[in-house]
């Protein structure tokens, strides 16, 4: 296990969430799954905790109960190289969830994600403040990020 690993608290849906995420990201795999036994506190045979990897990043999932829920104050930033990757991840991760502004979405488990093309930070950091301002204004009008529209706002065909 890495020194720092995101720890995700679910209310009985850790296994479903893990399988959902692993099905979406190409470079992913299920790690260890620990199930409750006779001692509980969860129903025997259900997942207590699980580890999985998405694109080389390890995650730890726990079925901890209804005590805590996710908040948009924590999100997973996904760096995408192409519009096709943005489109695919946007649709798959938002299925049953909620699409939001500026590349943000909430999946069906309430976890927040940012689906961001790698060109966006480059355009926003341009030395020409007018170009970066136009890109920012264009992005603020978007839900799913559109690479071509960002390029046009920047001044590229």
Q: Give the pLDDT confidence of 86-101 residue by residue, as tens digits.
A: 999 999 999 999 999 9
Q: Which fold has domain 1-68?
A: 3.30.720
* Confidence tier at 2 by pLDDT (50, 70, 90): confident
Mean pLDDT (whole number) for 17-33: 97
In the chain, where does the domain assigned CATH 3.30.720.100 lie?
A: 1-68
Burial of 6 (0-12, 13-18, 19+ CB in 10 A): middle
What pLDDT is recorded for position 41? Answer: 86
Whether 157 has a pLDDT exceeding 90, the answer reads no
Classify 70-157 by CATH class: alpha beta
Whether 1 has a pLDDT exceeding 80, the answer reads no
In the chain, where does the domain assigned CATH 3.10.180.10 lie?
A: 70-157
pTM, full prediction: 0.93
* Confidence tier at 78 by pLDDT (50, 70, 90): very high
Whether 33 has a pLDDT exceeding 90, the answer reads yes
């Amino acid at each position: 296990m890495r020194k720092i690993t995101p720890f995700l608290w679910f209310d009985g849906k850790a296994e479903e969430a893990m399988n959902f995420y692993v099905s979406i990201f190409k470079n992913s795999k299920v790690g260890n799954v620990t199930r409750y036994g006779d001692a509980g506190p969860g129903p025997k045979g259900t997942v207590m905790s699980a580890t999985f990897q998405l694109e080389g990043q390890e995650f730890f999932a726990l079925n901890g109960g209804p005590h805590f829920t996710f908040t948009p104050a924590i999100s997973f930033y996904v760096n995408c190289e192409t519009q096709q990757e943005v489109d695919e991840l946007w649709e798959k991760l938002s299925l049953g969830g909620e699409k939001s502004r500026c590349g943000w979405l909430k999946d069906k488990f309430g976890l927040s994600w940012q689906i961001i093309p790698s060109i966006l930070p480059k355009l926003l950091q341009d030395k020409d403040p007018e170009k970066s301002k136009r890109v920012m204004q264009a992005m603020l009008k978007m839900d799913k990020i559109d690479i071509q529209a960002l390029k046009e706002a920047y001044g590229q065909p």
